Structure 1
Amino acid sequence: MKLTYAHFANLFILLCFSCTYIKNSTDKTDELPATALQPYGRYSLTHAQKLELISAAVHFGYTFEGNESRVFASVPNTNGHNYLQYELDGEYQKRVKVSGNATEPIVIKAPAGGKHTVWVYKATEAHTGPVLIDKVTGENVQAIQKPDAPIIEFIGNSITCGAAADPSEVPCGSGQYHDQHNAMMAYGPRVAAAVGANYVISCVSGIGAYRNWNSDGPAMPQVYEKIDFQDSNPQRWNFETASPKVVSIALGTNDFSNGDGKKERLPFDSTRFIQEYVKFVELVKKKYPQASIALLSSPMVNGKNRQILQSALTDIKAQIDSTYPTDKPVALYFFQPMQASGCTGHPSVEEHAVLAQELAPFFDRLLKADL
């Protein structure tokens, strides 16, 4: 076939278009949608396919190459704010405030080129509200999973949440309650790191086993199955998402609370506490039949109440062990007394390190019990 000038012109245009397409494909910034991320902890996907980070210290990881990556995050309340925090190449960096009216992404800068690993954590608890992740961008950005390891679920109250622990940016007594949250620096994540485990946290500030800090409920047994620990939410958490080898339960601090001194507060009811706690342990065992159960006391309950709490936990262990004689016995751990110096008498970030150091051998033994 004879090639005309028009044929040559069309071939030239096609080659130019192909070269341009290849160049643009090579130069474009890689993008990782929220649906590709692999979070640990309680989360959901919105109708808009954004990743909704719900529970304290729920986290996801990714790698990128070069000097920076960007995390596109927001909160549903345009007038509100929340917090993320992150690690870069295994080193903790900082908390990052996410405002409802923010328009710019979070920029994570690396000191040098090459391949880098980032883990992003929600710094606050579920009741603070979710943080939405739209996407992550960066050169050759890829979602990653943590190395395969046993999982510990830490159930508890504000101490387990890492609430009121970090006044480094907003001083105690100022700002909002969640301005001092630092979930990944709480004792649970630190224990998990020390014993080589993965973790999830299920916590609510002010919550108890049968009553809360300043109310009669709903307590943890009533909200545990709800995805965000809100009793009014019909959506339930899918417990098949994770299979913890150990479930740690630390409740009791708020059951002993005297409240705000204004609302009527009846004396602590040991019988009811034990009854409701036993029912809750039974609920957890239904969710995770193979898991070991560990009951922790409270570093914030001292004096006579400390002895009452320890006695009650001992009774709870005896009842559960009797009811489930072929299961692994319930493990008990009683904290050493602590005069906490964080906000409103909570353990500080530094004191959470002390709690974790104290707990690590206990959890290490539990994880190795079946090996």
Structure 2
Amino acid sequence: MWTLALANLAMLAAPAQSAVTITKDVTNRSIKSDARPLPVHIGGRVAMAPLAAPAPKGARAYVHQWPAVYWEAAFIGDRLILKFDDDKNEYRLTIDHVAAIPIPQPGRAAVVVTGLRPGRHRARLDKVTESVEVARAFNGFFVPRGEAVLPAPRARSRQIEFIGDSGMTGYGIRSDTPTCTKEEVRLRTDSGAAWPSLVAHSINADYQINAVSGIGLVRNYGGTAPERVMSALYPRTLPDGTAVWQNQSWQPQVVVVLLFNDFTTPIQPGERWLDQTALADDYVRAYQQFIATIHERSPGAALLLPWPNLAKGNDPAMQRFSSTAQAAIRAAAVKAGVPRIEFPSLPDFTPENSACDYHGSRSDHQNLAGWMIAWIKAQPELWSGRRNG
């Protein structure tokens, strides 16, 4: 049995089903050979592989690294079992849209939910933490043989994709201090509280958050790991893998890109750029190619590139860079056939930056989400695929 606190939390989280309890089964005997795996609707990128016996026929492992992956399933019955192989991540389980139940670092175990009212149920599991350094697996939802398997919930008509860095992962957002160890950052990150998730939920869209803390387009924060920049990782199913992600059902109408880590730290000795001008030129060239890559993958998508309002600053060089970069990126988008590209000016508000390592707080993410939601809702044509002009 999990801790009493977690069991109590499960009961508090589901007042309409006060008898609901959660049990952690480290023996993995809760899933019988005749249990039935549930078909799932997946948000985000995962690598799927069949589970070997004694797992029930048709069971699959969903291996993941990108943040904010989620799984949705439906069934009829009073019992649900989830199987994990993950000692690093925290998950959040929601049944029938009732307040979510945390499942922290389940390990190689089954998690059994009992006490549900008999009848039709919908379950959703969200990955909360960031795990780009390790690949781990959710091995699916199961119901006992006597319960009814329902088709996976239908995909939402709207799809939106976010590409970025720690500003999209909810980096350390649950921290009450900016001073955090690496492990505390991992445990206090919450992608579900980050502004991209808030935006997607508000507009009822399926979503991907293809983001990595510290990543840039051609240069990461501090000049580290040049082989792991976003232009290299974005095509992959898993950042640590080599397989290119392919899924014809993922055709987002909107793709949001926010990547500026390239310029947040000074160029270090040994890096390939002699100065900021060379870096800026390389960044723009890479962005042009990145636009073509995104468009090839999602040909109907409008591209939104939230951009700092550098015109209000006092640095003429940055102002010239901003206008030149936007013009070059826009020209590349038009040449590639992108139906629409916009550079919404990021809102002017003073952030709290009180999360780990002075990242955005919950309030900061809510403010940014509110701005993005308002901007998107003012552009209803985004969802119809209408072109610029």
CA offsets, 1:51-70, max 9 Å, x none? Answer: 22332111111234555522
- The letter for the 2-side match of 1:116 is H
- Tell me the distance in 2 between the aligned counterparts of 1:213 and 1:262: 14
- The letter for the 2-side match of 1:86 is L
Correspondence for 2:288: 278
Correspondence for 2:42: 39
Residue in structure 2 matching 1:356, options 346, 362, 369: 369
TM-score between the two structures when normalised by the length of structure 2: 0.73
Correspondence for 1:186: 194
Correspondence for 1:96: 103
Contact 1:209 1:255 in 2 (8 A): yes
Contact 1:32 1:142 in 2 (8 A): no
Bigger drift between 193-202 and 167-176 goes to 167-176
Is 1:125 equivalent to 2:130 in the alignment?
yes
Shift >6 Å, 4+ stretches: 168-171, 259-266, 302-306
Bigger drift between 61-70 and 193-202 goes to 61-70
- The letter for the 2-side match of 1:106 is V
Percent of aligned positions with the same letter in both sequences?
Answer: 21
| Residue 321 to residue 285, structure 1, CA distance change in 2 (3 Å) | closer
Correspondence for 2:327: 315
- The letter for the 1-side match of 2:138 is I
- Tell me the distance in 2 between the aligned counterparts of 1:148 and 1:358: 23
Query: What is the RMSD computed on CA atoms of the aligned residues?
Result: 3.5
- The letter for the 1-side match of 2:41 is Q
For residue 267 of structure 1, report the CA deviation from its aligned partner.
5.1
- The letter for the 1-side match of 2:327 is D
**Superposed counterparts of 1:72-221, under 5 Å:** 72-75=83-86, 80-100=87-107, 102-103=108-109, 105-108=110-113, 114-138=119-143, 139-142=147-150, 144-167=152-175, 172-173=180-181, 175-215=183-223, 217-218=226-227, 219-221=229-231
| Residue 370 to residue 52, structure 1, CA distance change in 2 (3 Å) | closer
Is 1:290 equivalent to 2:300 in the alignment?
yes
Contact 1:245 1:290 in 2 (8 A): yes
| Residue 126 to residue 149, structure 1, CA distance change in 2 (3 Å) | farther
Contact 1:74 1:131 in 2 (8 A): yes
For residue 120 of structure 1, report the CA deviation from its aligned partner.
0.5
> SS of the counterpart of 1:192?
helix
- The letter for the 2-side match of 1:225 is P
Correspondence for 1:234: 242
| Residue 257 to residue 47, structure 1, CA distance change in 2 (3 Å) | same
- The letter for the 2-side match of 1:41 is G
Correspondence for 2:359: 346
- Tell me the distance in 2 between the aligned counterparts of 1:165 and 1:245: 28
Structure 1 portions without partners, runs of 5+: 1-27
Instruction: Report the count of equivalent residues.
Output: 331
- The letter for the 2-side match of 1:318 is R
- The letter for the 1-side match of 2:42 is P
TM-score between the two structures when normalised by the length of structure 1: 0.76
| Residue 327 to residue 47, structure 1, CA distance change in 2 (3 Å) | closer
- The letter for the 2-side match of 1:166 is R
| Residue 108 to residue 368, structure 1, CA distance change in 2 (3 Å) | farther
Is 1:335 equivalent to 2:346 in the alignment?
yes
Contact 2:284 2:329 in 1 (8 A): no
| Residue 223 to residue 198, structure 1, CA distance change in 2 (3 Å) | same
For residue 352 of structure 1, report the CA deviation from its aligned partner.
1.6
For residue 117 of structure 1, report the CA deviation from its aligned partner.
2.0
Correspondence for 1:244: 252
